Structure 1
Amino acid sequence: MGLYFFPPSLKLRATFLAAQAEYAEHDGRPDADGLTLADLTEGTLRSYVEGMAAGTFPRDGIRIGVAGTELWWCETSEGQPPSFVGRLTVRHDLVAANYDRGGQLWLSIRPSRRRQGLGTQLLAAALPIAAAHGITTPVVVIRTVALAPRKLAESVGGKQVWEKSGRVAYRIESKQQVAV
């Protein structure tokens, strides 16, 4: 059994949609770039997943103007299909947008798997991926009301750089070691 990154794939449709229903129930909306559960129909889900895999994040013909890498973090165990635990989004074209050697990292843990230390594990796994994209000082964006992720960012030396629209951002050195 272990946790591994997978590219977005319709093969993980059932576990992804189950996680989105959890997000909607617990957080008031799915963790799907502004899509609602109703939006996540087969056709929309297909274009959404294909766009994430291509790094273009399409939504009903509209493309978000930020290149990104999307990875789904799934738990695997022998004889069982992977189970969606969370996701990592690396928005790496922000380096050119005055982010001073940094892009954004968006981390998300499915509600039923929170408070198990998985955010720390996900951040530890995310920092080398950010570094591989040339991001040496990623900015981790967190909902303002999410106290546990804010404490995690601060515990690894994250420095708050902005707060707006219900979100707060912390700059973290990607060479930072995260104890798991």
Structure 2
Amino acid sequence: MPQLVPPTPDVHASFIAAMDEFAEEGRGDPADASVLGRELRLNGPTWREPGAFEQFVEGLIAQEREETPRPDGFVPSTTLWWVEGDAFIGRIVVRHRLTQWLLDVGGHIGYDVRPSARGQGHATRILNAALPTARRLGVDPALLTCDDDNIASRKVIEANGGVFEDQRGVKLRYWVPTS
């Protein structure tokens, strides 16, 4: 049964295969402003080397700490991976607080499920499993956003108790209780 775990080098091969799936669908191109897109551009070329992958994992874990240096506009965040054994299925990022951009566009929580594992309920379970982490971080309720044409993500958010607030541009904004 899949579970949320901190990033780990133990799923290296499966993580690389998942990132290849994301890249095949166009993620990581210069127009992709998502966390995943940025990571594919910055780290993708080195992930195959085990030492570089371990450094990437350590860097993700370090983002939880307030004192960790990060680009302007970035906030501390907790990344968790949805894995089953040594198989990487997806990931979720809980941002510890909101900036104006996150309030309008990005939200507290973002998640990705590898393309070959979509449509199996993983996203709904990942979000549900991560809500206690958000609560422990003092986030209640959590803001989640999705593009207005992303019906699957909208259903995931609503299945986890998301209450629609408004639409800003193409982004639908929902508040999800964490307690």
Q: What TM-score do you get using the length of structure 1 for normalisation?
A: 0.73
Q: What is the correspondence of 1:1-180 to structure 2 with a 5 Å cutoff?
A: 2-26=1-25, 28-30=26-28, 32-36=36-40, 39-42=43-46, 45-55=53-63, 63=71, 65-76=74-85, 82-94=86-98, 104-164=108-168, 166-175=170-179
- Contact 2:5–2:80 (CA under 8 A) maintained in structure 1: yes
Deviation at 1:69, TM superposition (A): 0.5
Percent identity for Structure 1 against Structure 2: 31
Which structure features the higher share of helix residues? 2
Task: In structure 2, list runs of 5 or more residues that go unmatched.
Answer: 29-34
- Matched residue, 2:31: none
SS in 2 for 1:171: strand
The CA deviation at 1:46 is: 4.8
CA contact 1:87–1:108 (8 Å) conserved in 2: yes
Deviations 1:56-82 (A, max 9, x none): 69xxx9636210001111012xxxxx1
Per the TM alignment, residue 127 of structure 1 is displaced from its structure 2 partner at its CA by 1.1
Which secondary structure does the structure 2 equivalent of 1:90 belong to? Answer: strand
Q: Which amino acid aligns with 1:24?
A: A
Count of aligned residue pairs for this structure pair: 162
Within 2, Cα distance between the matches of 1:36 and 1:91? 19
Q: Is the 8 A contact 1:6 1:71 kept in 2?
A: yes
| Aligned-pair CA distance for 1:164 | 4.7
Highest RCO, 1 vs 2 (Cα 8 Å, sep ≥ 6): 2
Change (3 A) 1:83 1:143: farther
Query: Whole-Å Cα distance in 1 between the matches of residues 14 and 41 of structure 2?
Result: 14
Q: Report if the CA contact (8 A) 1:137-1:172 is conserved.
A: yes
